[in-house]
Structure 1
Amino acid sequence: MLALLDAFRHQGWQVTFASPAEKSIHRADLPARGINEVNIALNCSSFDDFIRELQPDLVMFDRFMMEEQFGWRVEKHCPQAVRLLDTEDLSCLRHARHQATKQSGNVSLDVSTELLFTEHAKREIAAILRSDLTLMISQAEIDLLTTRFKVDSALLLDSPFMQPPVPEEQQRQLPDFDQRQHFIVIGNFRHAPNWDAVLWLKQTIWPLIRSRLPEAELHIFGAYPPPKATQLHNAQQGFLIKGWADDVNRVMQQARVNLAPLRFGAGLKGKLVDALACGTPSVTTSVGAEGMSGELDWPQPVTDHPEQFANLAVELYTEAHQWRDCQQQGFDLHNQRFDFGRHADTLIKRLQQLRDDLDSHRLANFTGAMLRHHSMKSTQYMAQWIEAKNRK
């Protein structure tokens, strides 16, 4: 999200970040980036006054729930504004894989139509069809949308993480193999794939690693650790719940190997991108590696089997030559795959093209127009009913 906002600001655009969420103590300093912050309310016509006065040229919704809540209001008061949906990941796919893992206990990459075509998916795909353009972080999810959901590719844009390159001088300044120690896991505890990964490590994978590396420690960082997570902390087993990391780069650069044993999930994995930039090789699953390298090859160990996962982690931790090869290939992938300038330029050009050709673009999306005519009314009337009820 910050990279997208920065890309807009680099164009000299005026950017307003409007959110109904409470402000977190960990939030980014948006005003320092030249971005206005505004609090908005759910199910309230005060948003109508706000958006009518603002009259933006472009409105971006963060996830499909925000499009459901505010999309019809934007269309009513700013009909010529380009409506952009940022999915971050295809959440209906993440939920389907979660159910598949619950059923099988295994890593779930491919899922059945029965698990995928849910009410959740209907809502998310409807929001995609109602929008002028949807940003997809993974080409794998674009392929799924166009083949299984029959979404027109003209409504989608491959827009992965946008990162500044890591120059060679900075690469050389990072701690080397001998200067690092221990394993790291990082991820928000409220995100179901991350919590499942911690449990899988605790119950199955970490004991296998620890039996071969009895002095090694696993440092687990993440926001919002619940009591059930902190109770897993066990210093004797080297299984350390660290909680919130004030500086992700610092803790990642101190670790020798990053572990991401994700059994389900979707989108791209920020923890793996951070590890690439920090020169910390990773071991992950097919779900973790999905979409990460685009048309390139993923250069670091991947397996879906716990015993092999442990073996690969131990080898990477102990073999300096392999570790350095993985690190360098990771730098190369990071700088090619996630280059800020290239992806930001592609995004801005697509948005400008949409702005210039919006009417014909919308005429070609009859399904979206139909959904706005019928389905959108239900969310509109529900919001208006809630607002009226709240007045009593």
Structure 2
Amino acid sequence: MATEQPAQPTPIHVLIIGYVWPEPRSSAASGHVMQLIDCFLEQGWQITFASAATEGEHKADLGGLGITEVTITLNHGSFDAFISELQPDVVLFDQFLMEEQFGWRVEKHCPNAIRLLETSDLQSLRHARHQAVKERLDGKPDADLTGYFQTSQDQLFTRMASTDLAQREVAAIHRSDLSLMVSDVEIELLTQAFSVPAAQLHWVPLLVRENHTAPASPRGFEERAHFITIGNFRHAPNWDAVLWLKNTVWPLIRAQLPAAQLRVYGAYTPPKAAALHNAAQGFHIMNWAEDALEVMGAARVSLAPLRFGAGIKGKIIDAMVCGTPTVTTPIGAEAMHGELSFPGAVACDAQGLADAAVSLYTDQARWERAQRDGWHLLPARYSHDRHCAALIERILALRETLPAHRTANFTGTMLRHHQHKSTQYMSQWIEAKNKNT
């Protein structure tokens, strides 16, 4: 008689509610969502990806990964029927806006599903810094930002706390069972300044597989030429960085290296960006890069002069993978290297950025040291295997202790009770209004 095989456990079913359909070659945020998806697929978990967004031209092939794609509608009862039938074990909200929109519906129809929030970065922190830069510049694009990059945690909290964006974003973090944070600096800000319990947060940065932490045969110093900057033009920090490069930083570099060339790559290049192209100045707008790692690996130095932003920077991760040193600001370097050496140079003003860029471009020994620093940093801080294992362990542990975890999170319970009621009634009012038009 054949021995009866033990029943296999039912795989966990994850529903991801996307703010957009992921475009990992266009933005680091989408890249991080795809990395989380990889972690879940490696466990054999079933995944459904749902979004109300319009598909972009660089959308990832989710179907090819065996992921079910579902188009959903905002402020519509059809989602209730969808989620009731699906009954996922885990729901991942991509950005706090999706938690606001669908969180109350998920809680109502799937009360036992773990609710995860993928923050990508703290939008309220990015917005606060953007406003601070505008105030400092006061209409003068080259104004001195001395002191701005040393803004303390208390100063950031004071600037953020009164804003509608911060109140909504931090409330969504409280309401969620667990929020996934790419930046350990932002975890510190939330726990120390905003009093978010550490048990509500989990650090999972951008991930790099161990076999990608250094190219098999990287191009050496002499085989590379020119500077590069890369980033989605729809992302305000990237656009500001390109303008700062064009108007201030790049002319200072060209004054020292008259033959230098800069190639600017970015998805969704608007006419205002294309108009910056000037071959005579060595400033080349290249539009979208089909293979970002290929163009990054051919450049000698990457420039990321970010004056505001949050989270961590995919462009700097890509540069490290390619062995390309980066010159950036303290905003760009934030949460990127911990106690280890930054793989390039960090400066606070245009002249400092230009001098560091020229030094890295011309000093082979310094360039090679920065390259080695990047390859050391990647496995130490961004290991796919280590962070995926920790995330899966955290989710599985949460499944076993979910009632107690929620009881301990009284602030989240209170916020769900009040906020979800107001959100529910607003959504239902919009739905009823749409039916009558």
Q: Do they fold alike, i.e. is TM over 0.5?
A: yes
**C-alpha separation in 2, matches of 1:183 and 1:47:** 48
Q: 2:325 touches 2:343 (CA, 8 Å); kept in 1?
A: no
1:10-89, aligned counterparts within 5 Å? Answer: 10-89=42-121
What are the within-5 Å matches in structure 2 for residues 145-184 of structure 1?
145-166=190-211, 171-184=215-228
- Picking from 353, 356, 360, the partner of 1:309 is 353
Are 1:259 and 1:283, in contact at CA under 8 Å, matched by a contact in 2?
Answer: yes
Measure how far apart 1:178 and its partner are.
Answer: 1.1
Once the two structures are overlaid, the 10-residue window that deviates more, 24-33 or 126-135, is 24-33
Residue type at the aligned position of 1:72: W
Q: 1:211 pairs with 246, 250, 255, which one?
A: 255
3-state secondary structure, aligned to 1:241: strand
2:185 matched residue in structure 1: 140
Could you tell me the percent identity over the aligned residues? 56
Matched residues in 2 for 1:272 and 1:324: separation?
A: 16
- State the Cα deviation string for residues 131-186 of structure 1 (Å, max 9, x = none): 00000111100000011111011000111111112468x63512111111110010
After TM superposition, list the pairs within 5 Å mapping 1:359-378 onto structure 2: 359-378=403-422
Change (3 A) 1:178 1:172: farther
**For residues 213-256 of structure 1, what are the alpha-carbon distances to aligned partners after superposition, in whole Å with 9 as ceiling and x for unaligned?**
11111101111111111111111001111111111111111111
Name the CA distance, whole Å, in 2 between partners of 1:122 and 1:89: 15
Change (3 A) 1:377 1:197: same
Q: Which AA in structure 1 matches 2:44?
A: G
Unmatched segments (≥5 aa) in structure 1: none
> Helix, strand or coil for the counterpart of 2:398?
helix
Mapped contact 1:166–1:277 kept (Cα < 8 A): no
What's the TM-score, normalizing by structure 2?
A: 0.88
Note if contact 1:209-1:310 (Cα within 8 Å) is conserved in structure 2: yes
Secondary structure of the 1:59 match is strand
Alpha-carbon contact 1:101-1:108 (below 8 Å) kept: no
Point out the more displaced range, 22-31 or 336-345: 22-31
Distance 2:237 2:166 in 1: 18
Residues 64-119 of structure 1, C-alpha deviations (whole Å, 9 max, x = no match): 00000000000000000000000000110000000111111325452444421111
Q: CA offsets per residue over residues 18-74 of structure 1, 9 Å max, x none?
A: 111111120111122221111111111111111111100000000000000000000
Structure 2 alignment gaps of length 5 or more: 1-32, 138-144
2:23 is matched with: none
DSSP-derived class of the 2:345 partner: coil
Alignment partner of 1:318 is 2:362: yes
Greater relative contact order (Cα < 8 A, sep 6+) = 1
SS of 1:374 mapped into structure 2:
helix
